[in-house]
């Protein structure tokens, strides 16, 4: 069974959108990625409409099983937080209208899932998501890579519908970050 996740790195100026298919063995494949941009000169309602139209088109075209959105976190720049929250709301509502489940993940969760460290920088996330998805070139700008990383993170955290083999046939296809994540999940299950 393949899980299709649409990841969104929300923002008013740049909103990253990425679709990833993840197999039971955690092998992830990019389906599509883009960054929707709006101009600060546009009114807020028009900017949100551009994002809403794009997410509607992507949800209808790619029909994801789940939507993964970056969780809004506190920053010193209140206007940035407000823009991210507004864009997130538009995206979440679009999924809700279609009955698509929504998951929220913090930037630290995404960094930990993809790189093995919750304190990694954007360059590390981009480098590893390029490797995980077996891409010829890094997704650009960083918002595109972040959207793909959100999608992969959700699929891995959700278990892609199956337990992941960390040993045995096929385990060599996992990246070090995937192996570390799978081992941490297995350890957590044993501790319950």
Tens of pLDDT, residue by residue over 111-144, are 999 998 888 888 999 999 999 999 999 999 999 9
Long-range contacts of 145-148 (CB under 8 A, 24+ apart): 145/16, 146/7, 146/9, 146/16, 146/70, 146/110, 146/122, 147/7, 147/8, 147/9, 147/16, 147/17, 147/18, 147/33, 147/35, 148/7, 148/16, 148/18, 148/20, 148/30, 148/33
Task: Collect all residues with Cβ–Cβ distance below 8 Å to 82 and sequence separation of at least 6.
Answer: none
- Confidence band, pLDDT 50/70/90 cuts, at residue 55: very high
pLDDT at 64 over 90: yes
Mean pLDDT within 134-162: 88
What is the rounded CA–CA span in Å between residue 152 and residue 6? 9
pLDDT at 65 over 70: yes
What is the rounded CA–CA span in Å between residue 176 and residue 171? 10
Residues involved in catalysis: 9, 70, 143
pLDDT at 97 over 80: yes
45 prior amide bond cis, ω within 30: no
């Amino acid at each position: 069974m393949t899980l299709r996740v649409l990841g969104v790195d929300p923002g008013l100026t740049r909103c990253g959108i990425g679709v990833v298919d993840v197999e039971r063995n955690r092998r992830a494949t990019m389906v599509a990625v883009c960054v929707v941009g709006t101009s600060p000169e546009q009114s807020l309602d028009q900017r949100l409409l551009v994002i809403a139209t794009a997410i509607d088109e992507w949800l209808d075209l790619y029909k994801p099983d789940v939507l993964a959105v970056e969780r809004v976190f506190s920053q010193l720049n209140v206007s940035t937080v407000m823009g991210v929250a507004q864009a997130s709301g538009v995206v979440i509502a679009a999924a809700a209208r279609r009955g698509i489940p929504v998951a929220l993940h913090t930037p630290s969760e995404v960094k930990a899932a993809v790189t093995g460290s919750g304190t990694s920088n954007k360059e590390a996330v981009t480098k590893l998501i390029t490797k995980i998805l077996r891409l010829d070139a890094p997704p650009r700008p960083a918002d595109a890579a972040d959207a793909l990383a959100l999608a992969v993170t959700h699929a891995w955290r959700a278990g892609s519908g199956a337990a992941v083999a960390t040993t045995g046939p096929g385990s060599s296809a996992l990246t070090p970050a995937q192996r570390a994540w799978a081992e941490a999940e297995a350890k957590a299950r044993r501790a319950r």
